[in-house]
Amino acid sequence: MFLLPSGGVKEMAKISILLVGLWLLGSWTGLLDAEYMKYKDTKESIDTRVEDLVSRMTLEEKIGQMLQIERKYASADLVKKYFIGSVMSEGGSVPAPQASAETWIDMVNEFQKGALSTRLGIPMFYGIDAVHGHNTINNATIFPHNIGLGATRDPELVKRIGAATALELRATGIQYTYAPCIAVCRDPRWGRCYESYSEDPKLVQAMTEIIPGLQGDIPDNLPKGVPFMTGKEKVLACAKHYVGDGGTINGIDENNTVIDRDGLMRIHMPGYFNSISKGVASIMVSYSSWNGVKMHANNDLITGYLKNTLHFKGFVISDFEGIDRITLPPHANFTYSIEAGVSAGIDMFMNPKLYIEFIEDLIMLVKNKFIPMSRIDDAVRRILWVKFMMGIFETPFADYSLVGYLGIQKHRQLAREAVRKSMVLLKNGESADKPLLPLPKKVPKILLAGSHADNLGYQCGGWTIEWQGVSGNNLLKGTTILTAVKNTVDPETTVVYKENPDAEFVKSNEFSYGIVVVGENPYAEMHGDNMNLTIPDHGPETIANVCGAIKCVVIVISGRPVVIEPYVDSVDALVAAWLPGSEGQGVADVLFGDYGFTGKLPRTWFKTVDQLPMNVGDPHYDPLFPFGFGLSTKPTKGFYSE
């Protein structure tokens, strides 16, 4: 047995006390460091917090912040493992069929737990396409698509719609929407034309007022270009698709916009000036090319112009698998696409599924000096700046306190107001002194016909529940035009609905008048590209059978002007209703004179597709109905003027 000398015990005790003291000092120092990490201190400026956090981050942590992945390929553990900065829903991607607001909140919070359990605890935000209301969500209010809002010429209305949409997003725990689309659609053959407010850049600029509706009003003292969002009832907005998405050849989606720089700046860029001045948090890059150069690889316009000339301080996000499509076929050389996209100035990458490959390739590109760390730091600073600004570090989790806002009556009344203000009256009787509208409410019998008269899915169009939209009334809450008519007419008036009546049925039933509701079936993006723009089958036949026998008004439900010249002479009244959304009562409001028609065409209505593209101001301008056209009616009395 080994024995210490008597003095040795005392020495050992002294050493032990010294070691414990040093350990305690080190522990307290560590605790103090943790307590006083500048990025966690709300008293520090956002710039200081961002710089402190970036200085602590590894390359892997930085790259994780630059990723936005799809919920189907995500979990709390994967968010934690790869330090993911954002999660998203692609069109129609839901946690469960007809999921409740609470189910959405639980899902978002679960991803957030993963983000907060990382070494630095950087919260993630969740993104979704809420492009005409919170359109993926069961029971949400579905507002008219942008083309209809353009017809209202009412920026203040659009701002209120932005605020309502933000509340419904927050009701489900979601903090970020890919809206507004500020494309200037120059050819209605494009399948996204209904996402554009107008062919006129000035009207598109006016409608950027939706941004302060979504994000809140920017303070006067904030420098230009700085992103801004305030409070738990607001969300991050995203101006898209930068730039020239609405000017592609023949309206082919994701194709090439051939125009000189002056034309690009005059037509397609102005909406971004307004969006940036209103504090938009993010800008999404377009799949399309400008004069043969893919926008996702365009350093001149993303870094040179957007960031350095316009001084945009928010973050630039790719479109869904946007960098994959830099090559043809897509994803043919992913390493090259990553280098091109990052070098162009994109900050966050919507890489829904192949994010591990993205991480590995980008690490290699940085370590081998193909991409400088300064470019990575610029991207991460922008993303973190927005996260600090929106307050998500302090309140990362959603609660159930706002679930009651989803689809509330106040929002449905707002949507109904938007519908009636978006209706454009193109024809009303054979002459001004013999108008058909407003229709009388008290008559013996009315015929309602057409594929779109009793179909909420068709009424709402694409980007509704599913990416490509839906058909029927089972998946949506709202009012069809048929129901709206029944709600509006006198109780003693009989309303007969027959989708495709034959001529004999119409002639033999002594109808007082007919209402025909026809138009396009739902579509989104390239699936809506259409070179002939004719009304689908049964539509022309229904118009002929009804309007050939009785007085009729034809209501066209469509995401753009369609071929109607062959029918104009045979119909008594003609209404462009666009894609009105869930609140069909707004259509009946103007049909029967409770309100007057006030909408004006946001787009030129062509005679034949051979004229396209044709926009106001073009030398060959010869429209069926010109840009800005719209007849007016007065409420109840039926007074009519042009």
**Catalytic residue set:** 319, 525
Cβ 548 vs Cβ 516: under 8 Å? no
DSSP 619: T
Rounded CA-CA distance 468/527 in Å is 8
Cα–Cα dist 409/595, whole Å = 20
The verdict on whether omega for the bond into residue 613 sits within 30 degrees of 0, i.e. cis, is: yes
Q: Which of 273, 288, 305, 282 has its CA nearest to residue 201?
A: 273
Number of H helices, E strands in the chain: 22, 19
Distance (Å, whole) CA 404 – CA 507? 49
Q: Whole-angstrom Cα distance, residue 424 to residue 475?
A: 28
Residue 28 falls in which region: left (phi positive, over 0), alpha (psi -120 to 50) or beta:
alpha
Give the type of residue at 423. Answer: M
Please name which of 591, 402, 567 lies closest in space to residue 513, comparing C-alpha atoms.
591
Separation between Cα atoms, residue 606 and residue 589, nearest integer Å:
28
Q: How far is CA 473 from the centre of its chain?
A: 23
Q: Which residues contact 138 (CB under 8 A, 6 or more apart)?
A: 98, 99, 100, 465, 475, 477
> What is the spatial distance between Cα 162 and Cα 239, in angstroms, rounded to a whole number?
13
Alpha-carbon distances of 463 from 144, 182, 240, 333, 512, rounded to whole Å: 11, 16, 16, 31, 37
- The residue to which tokens 């469960």 are assigned: 96
What DSSP assignment string belongs to 190-217?
STTGGGSSBSSHHHHHHHTTHHHHHH-P
Residue type, 141: T
CA distance 600 to 421: 9
Paired tokens of 315: 């973050």
Report which residue type is found at 264. L
